[in-house]
A and B are shown apart, each in its own frame.
Chain A
Amino acid sequence: MTIHRRKFLHTALGVAAAILVVPLKVFAARPKAAFGAEKYDDVMNTLYSSTTTDSSHVSIKAPDIAENGAVVPITVKTDLANAESVSIIVPNNPNPLAASFELTPSSGGLVSTRIKMAKTSDVHAVVKAGGKLYSASKEVKVTIGGCGG
């Protein structure tokens, strides 16, 4: 049997598409628009479509000065029992939304990760619980940026 180029390409494309589609389907919905947004307000609008109020139920732990903006440890803690999601937003980054954690009732109120920061900025932690938004923010001074360069 000879392999026809056209047929081969068709099959190859089909297989490639199938491989690409399968892993994407595993996860429900990534807020793509919010990750692409370039302003803090746009992130908030596309992600939550409302504004937040600072709350003592949320606390954010981050260094005062980050020497290396490529690795900034951030810990978000909340004592709200019914927290649905936690987002970490850095307004001065090219894409402010760094990460968004979807929680379930069996999640504890603690999320910790390391993010990149382009320059000195506030870091906002937004927690959604029971349809309401709670937030906390902290300024982190960055001496060497972690984006581009």
Chain B
Amino acid sequence: MAKIKIRAKEKNGTVTVKSLLKHPMETGNRKDKKTGNEIPAHYITEVKCEVNGKTVMTAYLGPGVSKDPYMSFDVKGAKKGETVKLSWVDNKGESASGEVTIK
């Protein structure tokens, strides 16, 4: 499941991680246009970023984050060749993770 796209690039000691998570991010407020039924909420609640197994950032998301969330953040003290791992869990207990090497 290629549900996560990650890029990590090092520049002057700071690693910029950019990622795209594939997820519907339903708020639970929307209605199905054909049937009029409410579409149940389905969104990512937590995203964790690890560098070499050490957690560097945890993001708690609500339904107010856009569909297919884009996340970008800086990490200090990581080097080229090290591994960045990103994992998420949603409100239905589903999860996914992805890894990338810092360039």
Contact = CB atoms under 8 A, between A and B. Distances in A.
Contacts of B63: 95, 116
A101 B66 contact: no
Interface in B10-58: 14-16, 27, 29-31, 45-46, 48, 51, 54-58
A147 B63 CA distance: 9
B29 A148 contact: yes
Contact of B75 (A71, A93, A108, A113): A108
Interface in A71-106: 71-73, 75, 90, 93-104, 106
Contacts of B69: 113-114
A110 B74 contact: yes
A78 B62 CA distance: 22
A4 interface: no
A125 to B, nearest CB: 13
A94 B60 contact: no
Contact of A101 (B27, B59, B70, B76): B59
Contacts of A48: none
Contacts of A24: 89, 93
A129 to B, nearest CB: 15
Nearest to B78: A106
Nearest to A28: B58
B93 A35 contact: no
A149 B59 contact: no
Nearest to B25: A116
Interface of A: 19-20, 23-24, 26-28, 30-31, 35, 70-73, 75, 90, 93-104, 106-116, 146-149
Given A106-B54, A116-B65, 14 more contacts: A23-B93, A27-B48, A70-B67, A71-B67, A94-B27, A99-B64, A99-B65, A104-B56, A109-B74, A110-B16, A112-B72, A113-B65, A113-B69, A116-B27
Interface of B: 14-16, 27, 29-31, 45-46, 48, 51, 54-67, 69-78, 87, 89, 93-95
16 contacts: A71-B67, A97-B64, A98-B61, A100-B60, A104-B55, A106-B51, A107-B56, A107-B57, A108-B74, A112-B70, A113-B65, A113-B71, A116-B65, A147-B64, A148-B29, A148-B30
